[in-house]
Amino acid sequence: MNRVLPLAFLLVLSACTAPDRPASPERLGRFMGLVAHCGCSDVSLDRMMAEYPRAVSAYSAGDINRIRGFIEVGGRENFSNQVPICAEVCSQTCAVNAVVLPLGGRPLGNGAPCALTEGGLHLTEGWSDTE
């Protein structure tokens, strides 16, 4: 039993998401789509879709291709709680800047970008009144 408990702890610990690792393509793509959809900057959804590889160049080619679909999802979502979703996205000024500055978009706040990490990227889940 004394040997099993530390092993189980290590397995559980290894399954936890590290907050400082790069944001997943799904979350990053939705965030980017929401930045355009919510009007956090002057980058339109069409422009985001066309030029997004410049903003995510640190990701692998496979991830970059996956991100595109999630940009479209985030850019077209329309949930009942869309106003708080947009408020949360646009309030993350350094993350918005990290996305729009490589595309030549208008920065927010002091214009400083930050790393787009799992722990630093906050996204509210959408819900519908019909659920």
Q: For the chain, give every domain's residue range.
A: 19-103
Rounded-to-integer distance, Cα 131 and Cα 127, Å = 7
pTM of the model as a whole: 0.83
Q: Is residue 8 pLDDT above 70, yes or no?
A: no
Q: What angle do CA 16, 21, 26 make, to 5 degrees?
A: 90
**Residue type at position 44:** S
What interhelical angle do 25-37 and 82-91 show, nearest 10? 100
Residue 17 has, within 13 A of its CA and on its CB side, a CA count of 10
Give 74: exposed, middle or buried? Use CB within 10 Å, 0-12, 13-18, 19+. Answer: buried
Q: What share of the chain is helix, strand, coil (3-state, %, to 5)?
A: 55, 0, 45
Burial 35-52 (b: 16+ CB within 10 A, else e): bbbbebbebebeebeeeb
Nearest residue to 29 via CA among 61, 58, 57, 56: 56
Q: Is residue 22 pLDDT above 90, yes or no?
A: yes
Give the lowest-confidence range in 8-12, 23-27, 89-93, 120-124: 8-12
Q: Is residue 5 pLDDT above 80, yes or no?
A: no
